[in-house]
Chain A
Amino acid sequence: QQPVQSPQAVILREGEDAVINCSSSKALYSVHWYRQKHGEAPVFLMILLKGGEQKGHEKISASFNEKKQQSSLYLTASQLSYSGTYFCGTAGSGSARQLTFGSGTQLTVLP
């Protein structure tokens, strides 16, 4: 089942902070975050694994609440380059290993 992302869209000024949420109805093994700019491929930002392990970029932070099956991506001191659509992808704890992506959050950073 597709995870639910919120908000669907957000507009910021440079330097402001944003939080994007991802919620699933199933038990999760991992949560991935990707950013896609218009006309480009999605780019990996962060992966959070059950048990607390994280892999990702230094300037991006995220949390994973295993009990609530929720993840949040924190964008601090946003820059113009942060604009794009952010997708979370979730993988369940069962035998199915595929990533199911949310519908995306469109982030626009204005000067």
Chain B
Amino acid sequence: KAGVTQTPRYLIKTRGQQVTLSCSPISGHRSVSWYQQTPGQGLQFLFEYFSETQRNKGNFPGRFSGRQFSNSRSEMNVSTLELGDSALYLCASSPEGQRNSPLHFGNGTRLTVT
């Protein structure tokens, strides 16, 4: 089975721009979660989508948004980028959801905001 695929692997953007990151989950997985990873804050939960519906949301500003398509693929959008948004963004899929099934992480998208 193919793993979780995230594109692109690296992105460099300028403050004020917006960015869209993509995640293709493992076939058959209906839950997709997004995490931001930084050296100072660790792994912070952004949101989880299950069957095209946002099921959970972390404590991030409204500039961070996401969606999930009928084929379970998910996108994350960050508008009006700030320097502090520089991070590794990880997507994880699971069959049922975060609480009771393992998360399978993608290799992430490394976003640098200048």
Contact = CB atoms under 8 A, between A and B. Distances in A.
What size tier do the contact residues of chain B reach? Answer: 20 to 34
B100 A98 contact: no
A37 to B, nearest CB: 12
A97 B100 CA distance: 9
Interface stretch (B11-19, B42-50, B79-87): B42-50
Nearest to A45: B102
A29 B43 contact: no
Q: What is the interface of chain A mostly: helix, strand, loop, or mixed? A: strand
Interface string A21-53: 000000001101010000011111001010000
10 contacts: A32-B102, A41-B106, A41-B108, A43-B105, A44-B103, A47-B102, A89-B103, A97-B97, A98-B33, A100-B45
Interface of B: 4, 33, 35, 42-45, 48, 55-56, 58, 90, 97-108
Interface of A: 2, 29-30, 32, 34, 40-44, 47, 49, 55, 87, 89, 91, 96-104
